Amino acid sequence: MKKDGSNRKLLGVAGLGWMFDAMDVGMLSFIIAALQVDWNLSVKEMGWIGSVNSIGMAVGALVFGMMADRVGRKNVFIITLLLFSIASGLSAFTTSLALFLLLRFIIGMGLGGELPVASTLVSESVPADKRGRVVVLLESFWAFGWLLAAIISYFIIPKYGWEIALLISVLPAFYALYLRLNLPDSPQYLKVEKKQKLSPMESIRAVWAKENAKQTTMLWILWFCVVFSYYGMFLWLPSVMVMKGFSLIKSFEYVLIMTLAQLPGYALAAYLIEKIGRKFVLVFFLIGTAISALLFGTADTTIALMVAGILLSFFNLGAWGALYAYTPEQYATKVRGTGVGMAASFGRIGGVLGPLLVPYLMGQNMSIASIFTLFCITVFIGAAAVFFLGKETKNVELS
C-alpha cells in the first residue's frame, strides 16, 4: 500500500512538471498565430519559432540525458524545470523576434531535457508489471497541459495578449519545482556504483555497441518520424484552420475540442500496454495516426475536419504515451539516460524540420492535403521500424 502511495506521489510530481511543459508547447502554437498579427511575421518566421524550440529540445535531450547518468535523475529533473520556468517567464517581456527565439531555445533545452529524464526516473521507480501503464499515465499529463494551453489561449490571448498568457503559464511551474525538491532519486540509479558510471563518450559508444545497436536504430527512426509529424502537424493546427477559412477565435475553439480527444487516447494506450504489449500498442496507434493525418489533410467540410482532428489527437497522443514507456526499457541502467536522451535528441531534428517544411512546401504551392499525406507516410515508416526491429519488453525487469 505504501509502495502504491509513493508511486502515485512520484507520478503526481513528475506529471505536474510534464503538464506545464505541455502547456508551454501547446500555447506556442496559439502564440505563433497571435505573433503573426502583432509582429507582422512571415510564414517562414512563424516556422522558425517552432523549429528553434525543437533545436533547444535536441540539445537539451542529449546534454541532460548524459548528465542524468552522471549526477542522477532527480538533480537533472530539477535543473531542467528551473531552466524552462525562468526562460518562459522572461519571454513574456520580449519585444523582438531575435530575443524571443533565443529564449525559446533555452526553454526548449529545459523541455527536451526534462521529458526523457522524467520517463526514465518513473520507469526505474515502478514495478515491471505496472511500469508501462504508469509511464503512459505520466504522458497523459501532456493532454491536461494542452487543455490548459487551449483554455488560456482561448480566453486570455484575444483579450489580454500573449504576454499575459505566458506569465500565467510560468507561475505553476515553480510550484512543481517546490514539490520536486522532496522527491527521492531513482532506486535503480542509486544502485549503480560510482566506479560503474561511464564517461559521456563511453556512454555514447555503449548506446551504439553491438548489444544495443538494433534497438538504437529502431528508436532513432521511430523518434524522428513521431516528432517530425507531431510538430509539423500540431504546431500548425490553429494556423491550418485559419487557412481553411476559420477565424482565429473559431480555430482556437476547434483545437480545444480536438485536444479533449487526447485523454481517451492515453486511457486506451494505458489499458492495452500491459494487456497486449508495447509493440502492438505502438504500431496500432501509429497506423491510426497516419490514417487520421490523411483524413485531416483532405477534409473539406467542418464536420470532416473536426472528426479527423479528433482522431488525430486520439491516436497520436496514445502513440506518444507508448513511446515514452517503451524507450527506457531498451537499455541497461548505467546508459539508460544517455540512450533515451540520444533517441529523443535525434527525434528533435524532426521537430526542427517539420515546422520549417510546412511553410516551405506552402511556398511551393503544395496543398494542405499533400503536406498531410507526407506526414502520413512518415508515421507509417515509424510503425514499420517498430514492427520489424522492435522487441517486446512487457513485464521485463530493468537491468
The answer to whether residue 94 sits within a structural domain is yes
In angstroms, the CA 279 to CA 94 distance is 44
pLDDT at 338: 94
pLDDT at 336: 93
Q: Which parts of the chain fold into alpha helices (H)? A: 2-38, 43-71, 73-91, 97-125, 128-155, 157-160, 162-180, 187-191, 200-207, 210-234, 237-243, 248-260, 262-275, 278-298, 302-326, 333-363, 368-389
What's the rounded mean pLDDT across residues 7-27?
Answer: 85
The answer to whether residue 188 sits within a structural domain is no
The answer to whether residue 63 sits within a structural domain is yes
The answer to whether residue 396 sits within a structural domain is no
Residue 351 has pLDDT above 80, yes or no: yes
pLDDT at 4: 60
Question: Which pLDDT band, with edges at 50, 70 and 90, does 5 fall under?
Answer: low
pLDDT digits (tens, 9 = 90+) for 45-96: 887 887 788 899 999 999 999 999 988 898 998 889 888 888 988 999 998 9
Domain count, the chain: 1
Q: Measured between alpha carbons, how far is residue 94 from residues 36, 55, 91, 104 in Å?
A: 15, 20, 5, 11
Residue 280 has pLDDT above 90, yes or no: yes
The answer to whether residue 186 sits within a structural domain is no
| pTM for this entry | 0.85
Out of 139-148, 255-264, 377-386, the most confident range is: 377-386
The answer to whether residue 85 sits within a structural domain is yes
What's the rounded mean pLDDT across residues 217-236?
Answer: 92
CB atoms within 10 A of CB 190: 14
Exposure b/e, 322-337, CB count within 10 A at least 16 = b: bbbbbbbbbbebbbbb
Question: Which pLDDT band, with edges at 50, 70 and 90, does 3 fall under?
Answer: low
Question: In whole numbers, what is the pLDDT of the chain averaged over residues?
Answer: 87
pLDDT digits (tens, 9 = 90+) for 319-350: 999 999 999 999 998 899 999 999 999 999 99
3-state secondary structure of 41: coil
Asked if residue 298 lies in contact with residue 369, where contact means CB atoms within 8 angstroms, the answer is yes
Q: Is the dihedral of CA 39, 24, 105, 54 positive or negative?
A: negative
Give the domain CATH number at 123: 1.20.1250.20
pLDDT at 341: 94
Q: Measured between alpha carbons, how far is residue 121 from residues 144, 273, 303, 337 in Å?
A: 21, 19, 41, 9
Residue 129 has pLDDT above 60, yes or no: yes
Asked if residue 101 lies in contact with residue 381, where contact means CB atoms within 8 angstroms, the answer is no
Question: Which pLDDT band, with edges at 50, 70 and 90, does 2 fall under?
Answer: very low
The answer to whether residue 191 sits within a structural domain is no
pLDDT digits (tens, 9 = 90+) for 230-273: 988 887 777 777 777 766 666 667 777 887 888 899 999 999 99
Q: What is the residue-wise DSSP string for 102-148?
A: HHHHHHHHHHHHHHHHHHHHHHHHS-HHHHHHHHHHHHHHHHHHHHH
Show the domain range for 163: 2-178+200-389
pLDDT at 399: 64
In angstroms, the CA 228 to CA 223 distance is 8
Nearest to 290 by CA among 229, 236, 361: 229
In angstroms, the CA 82 to CA 355 distance is 26
What's the rounded mean pLDDT across residues 33-44?
Answer: 86
- For the ranges 101-115, 227-241, 356-370, the lowest mean pLDDT is seen at 227-241
The answer to whether residue 72 sits within a structural domain is yes
pLDDT at 1: 39
Residue 122 has pLDDT above 50, yes or no: yes
Distance in Å from the first CA to the final CA of the chain: 25
